[in-house]
A and B are shown apart, each in its own frame.
Chain A
């Protein structure tokens, strides 16, 4: 019997620097029979679009947006294209797709794309954000991360990073790139792509934004335990992006957390590239997962069970130009009343 269609179609964003292997990855994913019911939306920067020709399957569920960079010029076109696909699906003009993959230009800032899907008054009733997948070229990544601020931001907001061209890069270089990615975004899963070993199902699974997938991502992406962190400033690459992970021993008052996070994002939303965590919320037996990218916070997910025996709330913040320790101290202080926080461990990572 055919699997029922999901209530909300996940929208998966694949982004990464120019030439980092986004189209190659997408080609491989679309060859998987299990992913046949996938609609694809490709955005190209430039007058002549080529990427959609490189993909083998050309039909009505593959759309090319060609009028510019997705993040800055054609958000209206993106919204219209997704609505058009949805309308055609409803009318049976195109096959009933289960997921939508957007391949953006290498220049794109992911946030406006995510915001379009999240906030559009029509789209938000039919689509939900899925994972952000970022391709990083193992051969050229160090230079790109040094020279292109967009590439650092792309890594910072990624849920899953695919390290491409690992068959062309030296082992030491791959380790160096992987280490740098980990410093920028310790909460993202990192896969090394040596051509045949990408698990398409796992890569495109709904992940953090889907209640059914929360246990899966938290098992993979759970913020590292504080005692496993290295302390001190390791900002050797000169990036001003830093990651901080910390835990709170006592249950969090949900209302106070909401007031604190909305206040933080109102003032520093542009600088909080990523927040991700599982919370022990006072009055609930199972954890609540929170997940945000800059000003955009996804509906909190009520997980079915704790991923392990640890009942502490664990949070990861990836910030640009903010003092990570100030964030931790602020949340602890806000949490002092009405649920006074007890002792807890903390750690900081610098990118």
Chain B
């Protein structure tokens, strides 16, 4: 358990799967975990930008999701990210949204 936040154990979300034979995961060692977290923050921010939000690493254990107006929420992993983003932003975060897709296409030139 984390003495600071009281979170029991680690995440068992599929994107952070526990290492065991046959399972693909980036959750292999401290360096790989940190690398993946940095990459995840960058990749998520590319999408969250559209919703005027941003994500940052928090102590290597969680993430801080923030809106442009200063509202923040701590999220453990990707399973909680999008529901938290919808709650903070007050609107759906839909990857099938035509406007979002068009915006990402424009970003990629």
Q: Give chain A's interface residues, CB within 8 Å of chain B.
A: 7, 124, 210-212, 214, 253-256, 258-260, 262-264, 266-268, 281, 284, 288, 292, 297-302, 322-323, 326-327, 329-330, 333-334, 336-338, 340
Known contacts being A255-B40, A330-B95, is A300 close to B105, with CB within 8 Å?
no
Contacts of A326 in B (CB 8 A): 96, 98
Residue from A212, A260, A322, A333 whose CB has the most chain B CB atoms within 10 Å: A333
Q: Which of B22, B40, B101: most chain A Cβ within 10 A?
A: B22
Bound CA–CA A228/B44 (angstroms): 35
B68 within 8 A of A: no
Query: B14 and A299: CB pair below 8 A?
Result: yes
Assess the A300–B25 pair: CB atoms within 8 A.
Answer: yes
Closest chain B CB from A208 CB (angstroms) = 11
Interchain CB contact under 8 A, B22 and A214:
yes
- 8 additional A-B residue pairs with CB within 8 Å, beyond A267-B94, A300-B23: A262-B78, A263-B95, A299-B14, A299-B18, A299-B20, A302-B22, A334-B47, A336-B104
Mark interface residues in B75-109 (1 if CB within 8 Å of A CB, else 0).
00011011100100000111110100100110110
When C-beta atoms are compared, the residue in chain A nearest to B40 turns out to be A255
Instruction: Check: B43 CB closer than 8 A to any chain A CB.
Output: yes
Measured in the bound complex, the distance between the Cα atoms of B108 and A333 in whole Å is 9
Cβ–Cβ < 8 Å partners of B81 in chain A: 259, 262
Taking the closest CB of chain A, its distance from the CB of B12, in whole angstroms, is: 7
Please name all residues of chain B whose beta carbon is closer than 8 Å to the beta carbon of A340 when the two chains form the complex: 108
Q: Is the CB of B22 within 8 A of A266?
A: no
Min distance, Cβ A162 to any Cβ of chain B, angstroms: 26
| Tally of A-B Cβ pairs under 8 angstroms | 99
Q: Evaluate contact between A329 and B101: CB separation under 8 angstroms.
A: yes
Give chain B's interface residue range (CB within 8 Å of chain A): 35 or more
User: Once bound together, how far apart are the Cα atoms of A88 and B97, in whole Å?
Assistant: 51
B15 CB contacts on chain A under 8 angstroms: 258, 262
Minimum distance in angstroms from B38 CB to a CB of chain A: 10
A252 to chain B, nearest CB (A): 12
Other-chain contact of A259, B26, B44, B92 (Cβ < 8 Å): B44
A118 to B93, CA, bound (A): 26
Bound together, the chains give a CA A262 to CA B11 distance in angstroms of 15
- Do A210 and B26 have beta carbons less than 8 Å apart? no
